[in-house]
């Protein structure tokens, strides 16, 4: 493994803006970070801090140098080893210790821990436990700054291991294309957990990869705070001038193991560790300032004593704070819903499902300049199913953004933009591709509000076509709603009519929570239906009784609603009156309406297109059993697809999807059983 000799011959930017006193202040910050980390480790070993934390001892020069460039309006995103960055941006030390101790007054209310500290008031948009996530979030925050015209720039800190993630390339490419005000800052501390960086990085260096994206790439001495300051100063000036991102790779070394919990054997030699400690960024700066006559032993002792007192006072404050209670946590998961509106009458005008969604986009974008649309081919092409035609002309390329084919960064950037005051709508070209957005949706969007102690809003909509029926084969026709139903923090909408599509899209856009908005492809081909011309919102969690009946309740979703109605009409000829319920939203779900109906009909059939096992029908059936068991005259029946991917052959695809005959057969079975 390369030793500290790697610091020789690196890029050496300089600045005229640092006075000796500025450097003393950077030293003071480095001492604060070092003492915070060493005391945190001691508290971990004593059991006061539990779980884990990741020390940045040895890397203090990066945090002190880089963050000193940033202004109040500027933002940063960091990673699991981010204590130094947050302290250097102005975070309160006592609140940080409180968070590490799991206390209610911690930055995240004691529920986020070391890896998720954020302070939105300081534009610290969060540390992150997912490797590389801050790069994608940073792209979104930088996009927000660009659109809002704030003049802010940001830094996304990441480790050398994250440079091998696909998100690194997607984010750098998108930031370069859009000339976003973002600095990609890699802290190369020589190891990704236990793997030597030089063994897994092709192309000579991480900084060299910048050339492929047409942006500057610099490899600097990360143990020299003044060098770090100069490099970031120049990158920030470039970003503020509208010239786009810079990639900085700072060579450094972490003194401790990967984490305080880790006890990993034998991946670094004692000689290597000793050699790197000899280029300690704190000792180097102290020596240089002393030799130049700007510092003496008395002042160094004073600085250290001041830091020790500050840290101990912060620890005492944190230890005295209470722990959170379970009752405090649920409000942190989801933002309150918008104030419910009365649903208007449909009126005489009829439009199609697609047109209803497009109209919701246009009306909401006209009334709220924070709404932006991101996706592949959403501009002039209007999307592959034509749901965004005319929006580019109406709102411009700044708000209707065609993206590369890069689902991970599209989705993660949308979350970053949402955290920064925008309301992004992400078009998932086909909902199967949402699997390429899983981290952004499940680990970022769904958890951000909770991990940040309920302090964040995440108003983002992920929307697109799902389901079978038009011969697109197994990878373009899945019904994937249940991948997300078990994830707290998400809402899932599933409208089956043009009226519901417009009203629920309006609600989704206005929600302060992340929403998955499901649009079935067959509904795009459906008939026109009455839809009000004015904007309106349908409350989430309010089901619609499509057809009344007394003999059996059928709960159906999306394209299955129309088929359930067809089945009900057929069954009426046999004297069986079916009540059909469309939940309209799957999360929140209106169990009260379903239970009330079942108590009247005494029977229930649940229909969805996804395979039966693991489908939403199982959850609905379980709730019917708990809420209406005493009223049931027969077991709850479920109708869904067979346990297989969707076949391409058109006859087999039709056989795969539940139809009116399947639904009618299930209804007859539960009726005749009793």
CA distance 119 to 102: 16
Is residue 462 within 8 Å of 428, Cβ to Cβ? yes
Instruction: Give kind and range of the element (H or E) at residue 483.
Output: helix 482-485
State the residue for tokens 């450094």.
252
CA distance 221 to 234: 15
Is residue 519 within 8 Å of 340, Cβ to Cβ? no
Cα dihedral: 609, 615, 619, 621 (round 10) = 60
According to DSSP, the β-strands at 491-493 and 182-188 are unpaired
Is residue 408 within 8 Å of 440, Cβ to Cβ? yes
Give the orientation angle of helix 616-628 with respect to helix 591-601, to 10 degrees.
60
Is residue 145 within 8 Å of 152, Cβ to Cβ? yes
State the residue for tokens 């984010």.
171
Q: Based on DSSP, count helices (H) and strands (E) in the chain, helices before strands.
A: 24, 21
Active-site annotation, residues:
407, 476
Residues 6+ apart with CB under 8 A from 575: none
According to DSSP, the β-strands at 217-221 and 195-196 are unpaired
Residues 6+ apart with CB under 8 A from 126: 77, 78, 116, 117, 118, 134, 137, 419, 448, 451, 452
How far, in Å, are 67, 154, 290, 306, 475 from residue 25 at the CA level? Answer: 12, 22, 14, 13, 57
How far, in Å, are 633, 638, 661, 663 from residue 669 at the CA level? Answer: 12, 11, 12, 10
Residues making up the chain, counted from first to last: 674
Q: What 3-state class would DSSP assign to 164?
A: helix
> Which residue, 462, 451, 466, 463, is CA-closest to 514?
462
Q: Which residues pair with 519 in a beta bridge?
A: 465
Is residue 607 within 8 Å of 557, Cβ to Cβ? yes
State the residue for tokens 């809002």.
148
């Amino acid at each position: 493994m390369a030793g500290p000799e790697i610091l020789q011959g690196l890029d050496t930017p300089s600045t005229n803006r640092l006075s000796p006193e500025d450097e003393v202040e950077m030293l003071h910050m480095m001492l604060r970070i070092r003492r915070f980390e060493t005391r945190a480790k001691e508290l971990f070993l004593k059991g006061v801090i539990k779980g884990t934390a990741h020390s940045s001892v040895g890397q203090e020069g990066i945090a002190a140098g880089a963050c000193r460039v940033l202004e109040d309006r500027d933002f940063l995103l960091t990673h699991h080893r981010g204590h130094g960055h947050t302290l250097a941006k102005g975070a309160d030390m006592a609140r940080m210790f409180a968070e590490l101790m799991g206390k209610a007054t911690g930055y995240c209310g004691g529920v986020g821990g070391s890896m998720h500290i954020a302070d939105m008031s300081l534009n610290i948009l969060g540390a992150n436990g997912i490797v590389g996530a801050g790069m994608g979030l940073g792209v979104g925050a930088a996009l927000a700054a660009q659109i809002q015209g704030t003049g802010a720039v940001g830094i996304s800190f990441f480790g050398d291991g994250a440079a091998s993630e696909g998100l690194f390339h997607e984010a750098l490419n998108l930031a370069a294309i859009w000339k976003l005000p973002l600095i990609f800052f890699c802290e190369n501390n020589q190891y990704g957990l236990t793997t030597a960086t030089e063994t897994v990085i092709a192309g000579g260096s991480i900084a060299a990869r910048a050339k492929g994206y047409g942006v500057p790439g610099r490899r600097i001495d990360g143990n020299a705070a003044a060098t770090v300051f100069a490099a970031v100063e120049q990158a920030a000036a470039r970003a503020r001038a509208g010239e786009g991102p810079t990639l900085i790779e700072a060579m450094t070394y972490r003194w401790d193991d990967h984490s305080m919990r880790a006890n990993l054997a034998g991946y670094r030699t004692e000689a290597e560790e000793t050699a790197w400690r000899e280029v300690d960024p704190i000792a180097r700066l102290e020596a240089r300032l002393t030799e130049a006559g700007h510092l003496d032993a008395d002042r160094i002792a004073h600085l250290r004593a001041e830091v020790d007192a500050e840290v101990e006072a912060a620890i005492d404050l944190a230890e005295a704070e209470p722990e959170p209670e379970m009752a405090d946590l649920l409000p942190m998961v989801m933002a309150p819903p918008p104030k419910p509106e009365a649903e208007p009458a449909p009126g005489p005008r009829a439009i199609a499902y697609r047109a209803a969604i497009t109209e919701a986009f246009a009306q909401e974008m006209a009334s709220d300049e924070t709404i932006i649309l991101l996706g592949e081919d959403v501009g002039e092409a209007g999307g592959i199913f034509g749901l965004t035609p005319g929006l580019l002309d109406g709102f411009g390329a700044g708000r209707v953004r065609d993206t590369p084919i890069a689902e991970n960064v599209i989705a993660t950037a949308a979350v970053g933009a949402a955290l920064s005051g925008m309301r992004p709508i992400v078009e998932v070209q086909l909902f199967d591709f949402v699997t390429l957005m899983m981290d952004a949706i499940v680990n970022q969007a769904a958890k951000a509000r909770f991990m940040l102690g309920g302090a964040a809003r995440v108003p983002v909509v992920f929307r697109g076509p799902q389901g079978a029926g038009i011969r697109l084969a197994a990878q373009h026709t899945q019904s994937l709603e249940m991948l997300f139903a078990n994830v707290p923090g998400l809402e899932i909408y599933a409208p089956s009519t043009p009226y519901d599509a417009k009203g629920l899209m309006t609600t989704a856009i206005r929600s302060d929570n992340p929403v998955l908005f499901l649009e079935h492809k067959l509904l795009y081909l459906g008939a026109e239906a009455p839809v009000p011309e004015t904007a309106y919102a349908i409350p989430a969690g309010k089901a619609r009784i499509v057809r009344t009946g007394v003999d059996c309740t059928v709960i159906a979703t999306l394209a299955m609603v129309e088929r359930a109605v067809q089945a009900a009409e057929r069954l009426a000829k046999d004297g069986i009156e079916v009540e059909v319920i469309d939940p309209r939203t799957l999360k929140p779900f209106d169990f009260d309406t379903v239970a009330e109906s079942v108590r009247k009909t005494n029977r229930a059939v649940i229909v969805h297109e996804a395979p039966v096992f693991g489908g939403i029908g199982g959850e609905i059936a379980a709730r019917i059993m708990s809420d209406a068991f005493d009223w049931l005259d027969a077991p709850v029946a479920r109708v869904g697809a067979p346990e297989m991917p969707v076949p391409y052959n058109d006859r087999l695809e039709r056989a795969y999807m539940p139809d009116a005959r399947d639904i009618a057969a299930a209804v007859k079975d539960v009726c005749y059983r009793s």
